[in-house]
Structure 1
């Protein structure tokens, strides 16, 4: 009897120890999952949670708004024509969120459609009445600076610039106000496709690329590859794109230039841009250019070739959307000097 009781005690002890070990393994796996987590838009490792919801901000690119604040920390920046020959940015933030972003400008439909496609909270300052109605009809989760103009909490008007080039987003208030409006402030994201470390890229040399949105040389966009950093630096004409306060240059790992149909829709010169149909594209990485295509897959702009996704280099990405007419060959120049 004593032997039986002793065997039962031993078996219970082994069972408990096994359960404990399984629990420890589960905890270790959780730690490993955290350690291996990466941000969806950059592919770079994350120190903690990656479920903070993306924020998409309309950033002014008028000459009087340069240099801007907070662009260097955006995971992806879309650059598109707003009206006339001046571009405007949609900056997507998740892996980093600077304290201040701006100047912030008004909404356009193709920008907030992109923000919705990436499941981001869309932040802008002002909009035409018909645009406000479309934002409402489409159920866009948005924060409009016109409702918080210079409130000192979400938006601040700076004195060193004149309106409409002086409205700056104060990011500490974003999630609190978004939550008050009933918006989700966390989300789960599928990662973009990314290259393995040190993977080779096949293509043509592209150390210097010029994107001519206008005949005005001051509005030509240049990307110049730097061997030492493995990144592209961006210029508006002769002016390097830097952070206003620190003069830190924008460093870009992927420059993705895509053709899309553009149409002027009103007397103000506002446009409609087709970001659904796909088309021809150039992808610049590590000083090399690939001629590929782009597709809108589940709301995100993805490089593809032979119907397969072409991976990004882990890091920051800028996406230049140019008019399909005249197209890539006329608007984009690749040079070796």
Structure 2
């Protein structure tokens, strides 16, 4: 199905070894079996007493880690990025022009490397604040700088720590080459006296039974358009994995180092009013008034209404809060819900 969406995009732009002995084999087989048993024992649901607050996935110990929000570059010269598969939640939202950036929220996993890191906008700060995140960016708009300087959110910025906490990769050119690792995130928080041991509040999740019984219109694949083929995202549902894969055209969104793909359990697309406010093309986005949206889960889609509750974008269906399937979530913020295209079957 992705070929269909790629064709749509193209039309829109009109261009572009064996073991050494039986004994060794037997020993390795035994060790492999023992490891399988060990893994199975670790993931038994009845033995996982707690859940990560932003994924709803089980964990043996209660997590007290603070959320960390990082502004990640999505320019074609910044792809593939580092760390996105480990993010619990990723917001995708327009910056200037038809260029999108990500606000990646990390809590359950801590990737070794994250980036390229890009500059802050006011609404990026608002999204991060909804999870009481430690906010990481490299640069800022004038309005965002005022808010960061006033201490509205705990943060470190590459403008002050370029070459120390933030490192420049030699295989990419600025502004597409700023990276930060988790060790330096912790170091930066420590230097500024910020606490990183308070977990965010829990999101609303479906039980496994509720997730298996989800209704909705079938929508195995869909596209979210941002007005440019370079930023239009295609999602495909893999029924065997029970996950969505994300693509830009023919290129899957994967991790730079590991090549692991972004795998999603929920894709929420919400319409918000966008207004360009200066000659640089910077925007004001209304993240408070609520509005229309789509929630894609388990290969199905439901029309929803969204509300801003304590800084978080929450979907509602028929006046009731719509829970997320436990796992990873991607939230696309678009100026118009007509930006979403999918083939539906009742």
Q: TM-score range by the shorter chain?
A: 0.7 to 0.9
Identify the residue that residue 233 of structure 1 maps to in structure 2. 245
> What does 1:160-239 correspond to in 2, within 5 Å?
160-199=171-210, 200-214=213-227, 216-239=228-251
Q: CA deviation at 1:155?
A: 1.2
Matched, 1:56 2:69: yes
Matched, 1:105 2:118: yes
Matched residues, number: 299
Query: What is the alpha-carbon distance in structure 2 between the residues aligned to residue 34 and residue 56 of structure 1?
Result: 30
- Most deviating of 243-252 and 57-66: 243-252
Residue 150 of structure 2 aligns to a residue whose secondary structure is helix
Identify the residue that residue 264 of structure 1 maps to in structure 2. 276
Query: What is the alpha-carbon distance in structure 1 between the residues aligned to residue 100 and residue 295 of structure 2?
Result: 20
Identify the residue that residue 343 of structure 2 maps to in structure 1. 335
Q: Which residue of the other structure, out of 301, 312, 328, is the alignment partner of 2:313? A: 301
Is the contact made by 1:218 and 1:238 (CA closer than 8 Å) also made in structure 2? no
Identify the residue that residue 281 of structure 1 maps to in structure 2. 293
Query: What is the alpha-carbon distance in structure 1 between the residues aligned to residue 151 and residue 319 of structure 2?
Result: 30
Query: What is the alpha-carbon distance in structure 1 between the residues aligned to residue 60 and residue 207 of structure 2?
Result: 20
Unaligned segments of structure 1, at least 5 residues: 1-31
Identify the residue that residue 41 of structure 2 maps to in structure 1. none
> What does 1:126-165 correspond to in 2, within 5 Å?
126-137=139-150, 139-151=152-164, 154-165=165-176
Matched, 1:320 2:332: yes
Query: What is the alpha-carbon distance in structure 1 between the residues aligned to residue 95 and residue 199 of structure 2?
Result: 31
Q: CA deviation at 1:307?
A: 2.8
Which has the higher Rg, Structure 1 or Structure 2? 1
Identify the residue that residue 311 of structure 1 maps to in structure 2. 323
User: Alpha-carbon deviations, 1:66-116, whole Å to 9, x = none?
Assistant: 010000000000000001101000000000010100000000000011111
Identify the residue that residue 25 of structure 1 maps to in structure 2. none
User: Alpha-carbon deviations, 1:170-217, whole Å to 9, x = none?
Assistant: 111212321331222111432111111132111100111111111x33
Is the contact made by 2:131 and 2:201 (CA closer than 8 Å) also made in structure 1? no
Query: What is the alpha-carbon distance in structure 2 between the residues aligned to residue 163 and residue 126 of structure 1?
Result: 12
Is the contact made by 1:34 and 1:48 (CA closer than 8 Å) also made in structure 2? no
Residue 59 of structure 2 aligns to a residue whose secondary structure is coil
Unaligned segments of structure 2, at least 5 residues: 1-44
Is the contact made by 2:307 and 2:315 (CA closer than 8 Å) also made in structure 1? yes
Please give the TM-score of this superposition, normalised by the length of structure 1.
Answer: 0.85
Identify the residue that residue 98 of structure 2 maps to in structure 1. 85
